[in-house]
């Protein structure tokens, strides 16, 4: 009939229980909701012929979607799944309608199949949470259990009647291994996703630079209308940012306004301003105009082992589409890339193009120029910053949802 006939666990890989080490600190617990799209054995060869012949003629040949969903959960996910198994169960396509229904049962070459051919899937209610599993999977595969800087416990529950499931992740930082991974880009990606910092808007990361509108002529297709709307939205946001600039950059490509946001969100925003340039210029992350640039593309490439996701992690979906459809973004970002190739260019990129001016300075009997009063304001802000200027190097992590304190053996 095409259903799993046995209720026992078939030895699928399950995650190990978290073992506390001295100095481990809890980052809290996240609950991630999911649904299941199970395969329909009535549409899979060679079982389809049996269902045509016997379907509905006895209680044994009555199809129940809830039963097949529970089969999927018990035999593929389990109560303690690994991040890798969860990741492998998430479909490439964000559109459920594109998940195949008809299939052919194979007894060989199963490992050569593309995940795009799967007829069942684990569907995250918030697809952006996939970034968490990508990070956890990467660290688990790269480090042993004792050296993993981000040990975790993953528990899964499935409610057959409600047809809803929950993945509960308890995450920890292992201080003795943390130094090995602080420079790892995946750490920033994972922390931003774990604390729901993402997504950013493209205008947040481009310092108010405008883009040219794409000429669409008389075309009134939905695609072109969406493109024009995205371009107009971006430019309006960029104009607000550029309006705060009191000066022009000496090169025309770099500079910005110094931000005083020392939260995790503020630090990651500054970080991804730099990452955007490298991601966009990377040949493996470049934007192909022959293929739609979405989170799905990155999921597919990640699952095939080619690369880690790029801007799809930290940019909203509308701006990913914009980066695909508007070629002027290349002319916007490429000069920044070339500017950063020299020490002088790095200094120009750090130019402060406008800062709030100080109202009055005790002890001065001369009138300052605008750029001087802005410089004094900038210096005073950093002198009075709680924790000092070092706060720009370290961002405190938010308090976890459920905090267990330090863990000891």
d(CA 31, CA 165): 10
For residue 167, pLDDT over 90 is answered with yes
Q: Cβ neighbours of residue 209 under 8 Å, at least 6 residues apart?
A: 238, 242, 332
For residue 110, pLDDT over 80 is answered with no
d(CA 101, CA 181): 41
Lowest mean pLDDT among 31-40, 175-184, 213-222, 394-403: 213-222
Report which secondary-structure segment, H or E, holds 129.
none
Confidence band of 105 (pLDDT split at 50, 70, 90): low
SS (H, E, C) 148-210: CCCCEEEEEEEECCCCEEEEEEEEEECHHHHHHHCCCHHHHHHHHHHCCCCCECHHHHCCCCC
Greater confidence (130 vs 60) lies with 130
DSSP string, 43-56: GEETHHHHHHHHTT
Strongest mean pLDDT among 203-217, 229-243, 249-263, 356-370: 229-243
Token representation of residue 192: 């931003």
Q: Cβ neighbours of residue 300 under 8 Å, at least 6 residues apart?
A: 92, 115, 116
pTM beyond 0.75, yes or no: yes
The whole-number pLDDT of residue 383 equals 84
Token representation of residue 223: 């695609």
Phi-psi region of 17 (alpha: psi -120 to 50; beta: other; left: phi over 0): beta
């Amino acid at each position: 009939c095409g259903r799993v006939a046995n209720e026992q666990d078939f030895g699928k890989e399950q995650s190990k229980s978290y073992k506390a080490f001295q100095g481990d600190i809890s980052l809290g617990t996240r609950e991630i909701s999911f649904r299941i799209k199970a395969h329909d054995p009535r549409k899979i060869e060679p079982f389809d012929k049996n269902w045509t012949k016997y379907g509905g003629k006895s209680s044994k040949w009555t199809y129940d979607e809830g039963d097949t969903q529970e089969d999927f959960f018990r035999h593929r996910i389990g109560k303690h799944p690994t991040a890798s198994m969860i990741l492998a169960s998430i479909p490439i396509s964000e559109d459920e309608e594109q998940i195949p229904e008809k299939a052919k049962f194979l007894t060989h070459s199963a490992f050569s199949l593309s995940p795009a051919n799967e007829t069942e899937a684990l569907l995250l209610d918030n697809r952006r949470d996939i970034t968490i599993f990508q990070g956890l999977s990467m660290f688990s595969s790269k480090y042993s259990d004792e050296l993993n800087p981000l040990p975790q416990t993953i528990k899964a529950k499935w409610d057959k009647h409600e047809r809803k499931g929950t993945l509960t992740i308890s995450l920890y930082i292992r201080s003795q291994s943390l130094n090995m991974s602080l420079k790892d880009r995946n750490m920033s990606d994972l922390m931003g996703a774990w604390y729901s910092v993402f997504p950013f808007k493209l205008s947040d990361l481009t310092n108010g630079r405008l883009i040219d509108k794409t000429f669409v002529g008389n075309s009134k297709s939905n695609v072109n209308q969406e493109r024009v709307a995205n371009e107009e939205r971006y430019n309006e946001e960029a104009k607000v940012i550029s309006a705060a600039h009191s000066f022009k950059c000496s090169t025309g490509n770099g500079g910005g306004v110094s931000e005083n946001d020392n939260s995790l969100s503020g630090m990651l925003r500054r970080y991804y301003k730099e990452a955007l340039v490298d991601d966009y210029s990377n040949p493996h992350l470049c934007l192909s105009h022959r293929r739609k640039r979405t989170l799905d593309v990155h999921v597919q490439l990640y699952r095939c082992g080619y690369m880690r996701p790029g801007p799809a992690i930290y940019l909203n979906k509308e701006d990913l589409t914009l980066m695909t459809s508007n070629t002027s973004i290349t002319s916007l970002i490429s000069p920044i890339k070339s500017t950063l190739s020299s020490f002088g260019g790095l200094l120009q990129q750090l130019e402060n193009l406008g800062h709030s001016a100080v109202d009055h300075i005790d002890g001065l009997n001369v009138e300052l120029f605008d750029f001087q009063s802005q410089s004094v304001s900038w210096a005073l802000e950093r002198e009075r910053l709680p924790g000092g200027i070092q706060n720009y190097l370290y961002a405190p992590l938010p308090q976890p949802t459920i905090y267990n304190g330090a863990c000891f053996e």
